[in-house]
Structure 1
């Protein structure tokens, strides 16, 4: 099912649930906090287990692609990236963990400093759903083949849809970048 539609459905349901809860009751707030912490522990456990699986597989197949420049970058040319599938997958898991940590930091600020409790309800479900839907988790934890949408390098989701493009992996583009003297960034 489309993640956007399921996210919308989950948000609507969780908004209705949060309206029915008494946010003034200390026991209710404590239960919401516990649910949020448990959810984040599950998320980090999921990412750590995925990292363990990646390290066990240790796929050293070479992966070359042209990284598309940021829309806000001054230079209009992408960089040639040469790495291994193992390193690429580890980088993807690390980026997902960093994103999850930033979410925890933001929620800590909103809940502890600004005294908002309602977002904790939503954030105990949505990041968990997002973690299970991560492409790297789908490949390694659920053993889905890395073809189609799960083909490396992953297309970055864009608010502009397919207009933003993604990493170029076709042989012609990669060879052109190699022969143009662009060099490449070799990640190990």
Structure 2
């Protein structure tokens, strides 16, 4: 659903952006102000989510098995963390993504003089903020179940399942591997 909505919003925004006269300095100023305000809202929301996570301080243990990259010689890795640390890590990833987007947009807009991406990225940034799982749980108050169950599964290629296993058998097998390596 998220990938489809990203494509739909991008295509819709591109069609709408074709009708905006970006050469008009007044419109360009409003577009820049809108983009900066949207980015400030996004950054503030992620920082606020981080603070909410720290205040909740959920020390519930979270175990899962992270699969290696395809065609890699590595073994699956057992991850043992807390809900607090996991949510902070996920929020940190979102924050880094926002910073990368701002940097990329600065290059496109300031150095390459592309104006249309400002409009599209304003909409996409706000859409991504709304659909971010830590934001859904900690700001919007949704229950951490179903699609929001930790660890968050990211869809693989062509909608395949993610690369995290939470079943007891996979965790037990990974714990045995870790235990046998400690004995060596």
Name the residue aligned to 1:97.
Answer: 95
Secondary structure at the counterpart of residue 81 of structure 1: strand
Task: Answer 1 or 2: which has greater helix percent.
Answer: 2
Secondary structure at the counterpart of residue 164 of structure 2: coil
What does residue range 7-22 of structure 1 map to in structure 2 within 5 Å? 7-22=6-21
Secondary structure at the counterpart of residue 55 of structure 1: helix
2:151 is the alignment partner of 1:159 = no
Structure 2 counterpart of 1:129, from 127, 130, 134: 127
What does residue range 1-188 of structure 1 map to in structure 2 within 5 Å? 2-71=1-70, 74-162=72-160, 165-181=162-178
State how far apart, in whole Å, the 2-side matches of 1:15 and 1:183 are: 55
Secondary structure at the counterpart of residue 49 of structure 1: helix
Task: Give the C-alpha shift of residue 182 in structure 1.
Answer: 5.9
Structure 1: which 5+ residue stretches go unaligned?
none
Q: 1:113 to 1:61 in 2, by over 3 A?
A: same
Q: TM-score, normalised by structure 2?
A: 0.90
> Which piece of structure 1 moves more, 152-161 or 85-94?
152-161
Task: Give the C-alpha shift of residue 22 in structure 1.
Answer: 1.5
Task: Give the C-alpha shift of residue 167 in structure 1.
Answer: 0.7
Alignment root-mean-square deviation, CA: 1.9
Secondary structure at the counterpart of residue 62 of structure 2: strand
Structure 2: which 5+ residue stretches go unaligned?
none
Task: Give the C-alpha shift of residue 82 in structure 1.
Answer: 0.7
Number of residue equivalences: 181
Task: Give the C-alpha shift of residue 177 in structure 1.
Answer: 1.1
Deviating 4+ runs (over 4 angstroms): none
Secondary structure at the counterpart of residue 139 of structure 1: helix
State how far apart, in whole Å, the 2-side matches of 1:157 and 1:31 are: 36
- Deviation per CA, 1:109-132, whole angstroms, max 9, x where unpaired? 111111100011000110111111
